[in-house]
Amino acid sequence: MVKTVFLTLLAMGAITQPEQGQVGLIDFYGYKGIGVDAVRAALPIREGDQFPGTRSSEEWKRAIRASVLGLIGREPSDVSVVCCDSGLKYLI
């Protein structure tokens, strides 16, 4: 059985996208059999970090993919960054 990790940010009603903000939530889907805590610890970004900071959104996605690949031996099925939750925080 192939195990996959989905990292998805969901929009929750924000109208505008801030240039800089914070990561509000990093959510996982399709992670059965994978230690989410270990994956979360391996990620190069944390909830509460400034986003996008000095990297572009695409650079963050590549870095996240690489960290998951390094940990579990496979890239995540998807990495999405969505703006924003009700507090204008990014979701990954």
Type of residue at 71: L
pLDDT (0 to 100) of residue 70 = 96
Domain-embedded: residue 68: yes
Phi and psi at 90, nearest 5°, equal -70, 150
Domain that holds residue 49: 6-91
Is this structure's pTM higher than 0.85? Answer: no
Q: How many domains does the chain have?
A: 1
Q: What is the CATH number of the domain that holds 81?
A: 3.10.20
Predicted confidence at residue 53, as pLDDT, reads 87
Q: What is the pLDDT along the chain (92 residues), one digit of tens a residue?
A: 445 554 443 333 334 455 789 999 999 998 888 999 999 999 999 999 998 888 998 999 999 999 999 999 999 999 999 999 999 999 99
In a domain, 1, yes or no: no
Question: For residues 66 and 58, is the Cβ–Cβ distance under 8 A?
Answer: no
